[in-house]
């Protein structure tokens, strides 16, 4: 029952991503879906994998470690850490993930850069920018990240591939859109100042991913829409 529903939800989210890409003249394959599995039991994550999900996102390092261990028999999974990472959990987390989406300070970036040489294939990282101005959100405050361009470029051992943001609480797709446009503009400027290509924009969640795709998202992080109608 649940697995049929999860299968349908995944297909529907994929179709909506493709339609949003087509509407803005983008190639749908330029947008990757990161299926967010936080607070979902392993059986439901398995259903998602069987339905074809490959990129899975977790918020909390400890929960990530548990899921990685429980799903070690599914080697095709690419794990993404999408939430805040404390420096003391970085060493253990680094070898498990393909991407860290929410590097929210120069201090953390430098710590990851220092650890990268110990990992066979260090994960790619995105830097989190607080485009909504909410106090509760992590990350560089808007274009304050530009002041750190030189220091970011100096972290050459960890691959910095782009930026990540979250829209303000309570926004819908249309009211979230300026946040996404802002992230893209800051990325364009940071690209000039660092000389890094920064191809990735990680933005868009269940209630606003179509607007994010319209503004250039290359990674959308979708959780609840995939589990609609499925009790946690
Ligand atoms: C939970 C979470 C998501 C997914 O949110 P949904 O609204 O469930 O799609 C995406 N990104 C981050 C950082 C999250 O914490």
Site residues for ligand 1, CB cut-off 6 Å: 36, 38, 59, 82-83, 166, 205-206, 221-225
Q: Measure 31 CA to ligand 1 centroid, in angstroms.
A: 16
Q: Measure 33 CA to ligand 1 centroid, in angstroms.
A: 12
pLDDT of residue 1: 67
* In contact, 179 and 131? CB cutoff 8 Å: yes
Residue among 36, 101, 127 to mutate when testing ligand 1 (max atoms within 8 A of CB) = 36
pLDDT of residue 173: 85
Q: What is the pLDDT along the chain (232 residues), one digit of tens a residue?
A: 699 999 999 999 999 999 999 999 999 999 999 999 999 999 999 999 999 999 999 999 999 999 999 999 998 999 999 999 999 999 999 999 999 999 999 999 999 999 999 999 999 999 999 999 999 899 999 999 999 999 999 999 999 999 999 999 988 888 999 999 999 999 999 999 999 999 999 999 999 999 999 999 999 999 999 999 999 8
Ligand 1 atom nearest residue 207's Cα: 7
Cα–Cα nearest to 186, from 148, 159, 227? 148
Task: Please name the residue whose Cα sits nearest to atom 12 of ligand 1.
Answer: 82
Residue among 57, 60, 183, 220 to mutate when testing ligand 1 (max atoms within 8 A of CB) = 57
Task: Please name the residue whose Cα sits nearest to atom 11 of ligand 1.
Answer: 221
List C-alpha distances in Å: 44 to 2, 48, 223.
8, 6, 12
Residue among 82, 127, 172, 183 to mutate when testing ligand 1 (max atoms within 8 A of CB) = 82
Rounded to whole angstroms, the maximal C-alpha distance in the chain is: 53
Ligand 1 atom nearest residue 82's Cα: 13
- pTM, two decimals, is 0.97
């Amino acid at each position: 029952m649940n697995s049929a529903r999860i299968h349908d939800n995944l297909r529907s989210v994929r179709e909506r991503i493709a339609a949003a890409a087509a509407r803005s003249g983008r190639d749908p394959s330029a947008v990757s879906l990161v299926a967010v599995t936080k607070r979902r039991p392993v059986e439901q994550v398995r259903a998602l994998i069987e339905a074809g999900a490959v990129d899975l996102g977790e918020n909390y390092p400890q929960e990530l470690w548990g899921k990685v261990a429980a799903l070690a028999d599914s080697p095709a999974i690419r794990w993404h850490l999408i939430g805040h990472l404390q420096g003391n959990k970085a060493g253990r987390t680094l070898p498990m993930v393909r991407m860290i989406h929410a590097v929210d300070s120069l201090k953390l970036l430098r710590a990851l850069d220092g650890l990268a040489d110990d990992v066979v294939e260090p994960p790619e990282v995105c830097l989190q920018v607080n485009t909504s101005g909410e106090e509760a959100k992590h990350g560089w405050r808007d274009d304050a990240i530009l002041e750190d361009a030189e220091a970011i470029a100096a972290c050459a051992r960890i691959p910095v591939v782009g930026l990540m943001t979250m829209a303000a609480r309570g926004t819908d797709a249309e009211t979230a859109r300026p946040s996404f446009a802002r992230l893209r503009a800051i990325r364009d400027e940071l690209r000039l100042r660092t000389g890094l290509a920064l191809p990735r924009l990680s933005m868009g969640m269940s209630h606003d991913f179509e607007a994010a795709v319209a503004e250039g998202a290359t990674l959308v992080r979708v959780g609840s829409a995939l589990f609609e109608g499925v009790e946690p």
